[in-house]
Structure 1
Amino acid sequence: MGIKLVCYGVRDTEVEFFHKLNKYGYELKLVNTGLNHENVKEAIGAEAIMVRGNCMADRQNLELLAKSGLKYVLTRTVGFDHVDLEAVKELGLKSARVPGYSPNAIGELAVSHAMMLLRHTAYAVERTKNKNFIVDAEMFSKEIRNCTVGIIGAGKIGLTTAKLFKGLGARVIAFDVFQSDAAKEVVEFVSQEELIKTSDVISVHMPYIKDVNYHFINKEFISNMKEGAILLNTARGELQDLDAILEGLESGKVGGFGTDVLEGEKRFFFKDLNGQELEDPTVEKLVNMYPKVLITPHIGSYTDEALTNMISISYDNMNEYLTENTCKNAIA
């Protein structure tokens, strides 16, 4: 096609995938950092850009690029709150997203967090790293097959996570306003109240909807949890009130917390802040509660399969626009 496509936020490990999957022959320019007000100049003259979450596809950048020929804004993510849709429409641009990618990528991370917290492996390895090989009371644990795992949000990702936990022998229950037939074959649907009250492990897989479920995990949620239960969030940072979770951890109500997301996470994620005090005191305290708290920097989709899905679908979206002037995954 010969169209110039500038892709932002491309890590070194991803470069090979971008080239290998380029079956349409786009003229690629890969930029290591996420789109910001400085590196926007890398895309001047390009007809299309591809961004990821935490990129600044805001009015300032889009206006600048539109003046030099930008027509398409692709995001290789499911969520698109980092793309200014009003500006996209006003500038006559076209934009599309990736409606979904490997649910196993997120599910496997949730299970990894759960098992590390349940079996206290991070705690044990932290001690052996310091050559302390004594087995103490903290290392004693339940087996997952003797636990009830509660899945909040039983869509593709939640259902895949449920299957993984079930494969380990756990009893898996779920809450969702929409109960699919596929999910009914795997989980036992219960009320939200019952799930929170009876689960030994709670894993959240719901989308964030502004003005609907902001800080869904709050003081009341935590007060209703089973004593010492493990809480996991690999969905969206806006779903959790970190102050309430911190309080729950400090009181022992929450036995362990694993998260791949934080509200306002671009303040921290993808930066090396070693030796610095974080600007958010709550996040600072949570980081220091390791190994009771496990924080990963939004790596849920950082797998070979998920990356392949995200790039391939984005390339297909571009091709659809070029050949049909429309796209089934359009967001604007």
Structure 2
Amino acid sequence: MKIAFYSTKSYDREYFEEYLPKTAHKITYFKNGLELNTVSLAAGFDAVCVFVNDKITKALIKKLHEIGIKAIALRCAGFNNVDLEAAKEFGIRVFRVPAYSPEAVAEHTIALIQTLNRKTHKAYNRVRENNFSIEGLTGMNLHRKKVGVIGTGAIGKALCRILLGFGCEVIAHDPFENPEIRAMGIRYVDLQELLKESDIISLHCPLTPESKHLINQKTIGLMKKGVKLINTSRGALIDTKAVIKGLKNGQIGFLGIDVYEQEEKLFFKDLSEMVIHDDVIMRLMTFPNVLITGHQAFLTTEALQEISKITLDNLSDFELGKEVKNEVEFQNV
């Protein structure tokens, strides 16, 4: 297949080029994101390959259909950025990479927790300036702390395994309970109980209409004073303005996020010489107990290798008329 590859970064090209010779596909790389003013670049191609911050609207899908695109290959797990109903209407198939390296995201979650907890980012900056004082760098043991994991799919499961290794008491919440989680000795609880009991809360659930702003003013009010909150899943799981209030009044002890609800305007871009007009994220960055990374939790060698393989295998199966097990379809429920 001829693939128009949008939102290309250097690491995308490196790992897709590594696996490409094992397929019959041809890729043309574009730095541009897929938008109405760039969709014409896909003319003459069979499929487009896009990332999580490419917003695939009905208008875009209509244009893709008109220029003959047969498939949208997502090189990510999330698919809330695609209008699946429109894709079905115009007969365009949608594929994703449901699990590339759960450990990559789970390990990054731990990195956020421990960086904020032990303040290693502050210690690094101090020592660079010949300041060897450890005043203000007191953290806490993770051992015996109660950690609430919301969402126990592949990533949540990987995180649970790591947390148990730290000696944490782990509780979980998920509408669909995972028997492997229970086999670890982890207790499932309702959301309210998890919010009330947890010292640390980590989000690993998909973004759906039901889970949007799962963390809001009301649910924050149920949490322990000084709760530690981590989000490496989807930005809109958190009502950012409500979290800012929680940080200001001390209800939230620290916040670590790798995702942000307005990230498509910011992340994956070098804006160091520009004025950022997003006042919400700029306010977040003024807090000394907030750590933000730019959607890099997935960024490991192993994950990138798996993403390229699964993405291209999805398109190979589609081209050969095989069932594509990673297809995402609109469910009219």
Relative to the length of structure 2, the TM-score reads 0.91
Matched ranges for 1:115-126 at <5 A:
115-126=114-125
1:261 — aligned with what? 259
1:172 — aligned with what? 170
Change (3 A) 1:123 1:80: same
Distance in 1 (alpha carbons) for counterparts of 2:30 and 2:7: 6
Distance in 1 (alpha carbons) for counterparts of 2:323 and 2:190: 41
Distance in 2 (alpha carbons) for counterparts of 1:319 and 1:328: 12
Distance in 1 (alpha carbons) for counterparts of 2:190 and 2:91: 45
1:278 — aligned with what? 276
Match for residue 309 of structure 2 among 286, 295, 312: 312
1:233 — aligned with what? 231
Q: Please tell me whether residue 11 in structure 1 is matched to residue 14 in structure 2.
A: no
1:113 — aligned with what? 112
Match for residue 324 of structure 2 among 310, 324, 327: 327
Residue 234 of structure 1 contacts residue 259 of structure 1 at CA under 8 Å; is this kept in 2?
yes
Of 52-61 and 155-164, more deviation after overlay is shown by 52-61
1:196 — aligned with what? 195
Displacement of 1:198 after TM fit?
2.4
Q: Please tell me whether residue 83 in structure 1 is matched to residue 82 in structure 2.
A: yes
Q: Secondary structure at the match of 1:174?
A: strand
2:208 — aligned with what? 209
Q: Secondary structure at the match of 1:21?
A: helix
Deviations 1:214-252 (A, max 9, x none): 211111222222222210011111111111111111122
2:45 — aligned with what? 46
Distance in 1 (alpha carbons) for counterparts of 2:216 and 2:197: 17
Matched ranges for 1:83-162 at <5 A:
83-136=82-135, 138-162=136-160
Q: Secondary structure at the match of 1:139?
A: coil
Distance in 2 (alpha carbons) for counterparts of 1:41 and 1:133: 56
Change (3 A) 1:12 1:215: same
Distance in 2 (alpha carbons) for counterparts of 1:114 and 1:162: 14
Distance in 1 (alpha carbons) for counterparts of 2:89 and 2:179: 41
Change (3 A) 1:166 1:95: same
Q: Please tell me whether residue 72 in structure 1 is matched to residue 74 in structure 2.
A: no
Displacement of 1:275 after TM fit?
5.6
Q: Secondary structure at the match of 1:227?
A: coil
Deviations 1:97-140 (A, max 9, x none): 2222211111011110000111111222233334322121x211
Displacement of 1:83 after TM fit?
2.4
In structure 1, the gaps of 5 or more residues are none
Displacement of 1:326 after TM fit?
4.3
Distance in 2 (alpha carbons) for counterparts of 1:135 and 1:120: 10
Displacement of 1:13 after TM fit?
1.9
Matched ranges for 1:27-46 at <5 A:
27-46=26-45
Displacement of 1:51 after TM fit?
0.9
Q: Secondary structure at the match of 2:242?
A: helix
Displacement of 1:308 after TM fit?
2.1
Q: Secondary structure at the match of 1:173?
A: strand
CA RMSD of aligned residues (A): 2.0
Distance in 1 (alpha carbons) for counterparts of 2:299 and 2:31: 15
1:319 aligned partner, one-letter code: S
Change (3 A) 1:282 1:68: closer
Q: Secondary structure at the match of 2:143?
A: helix
Distance in 2 (alpha carbons) for counterparts of 1:109 and 1:331: 27
Distance in 2 (alpha carbons) for counterparts of 1:144 and 1:50: 40
Distance in 2 (alpha carbons) for counterparts of 1:90 and 1:200: 46
Deviations 1:172-230 (A, max 9, x none): 222222222210122232332332222221111111111x1221111122222222221
2:284 aligned partner, one-letter code: L
Aligned residues between the structures:
327
Change (3 A) 1:327 1:249: same
Distance in 1 (alpha carbons) for counterparts of 2:45 and 2:148: 47
1:318 aligned partner, one-letter code: L
Aligned-pair identity in percent equals: 34
Displacement of 1:325 after TM fit?
5.5
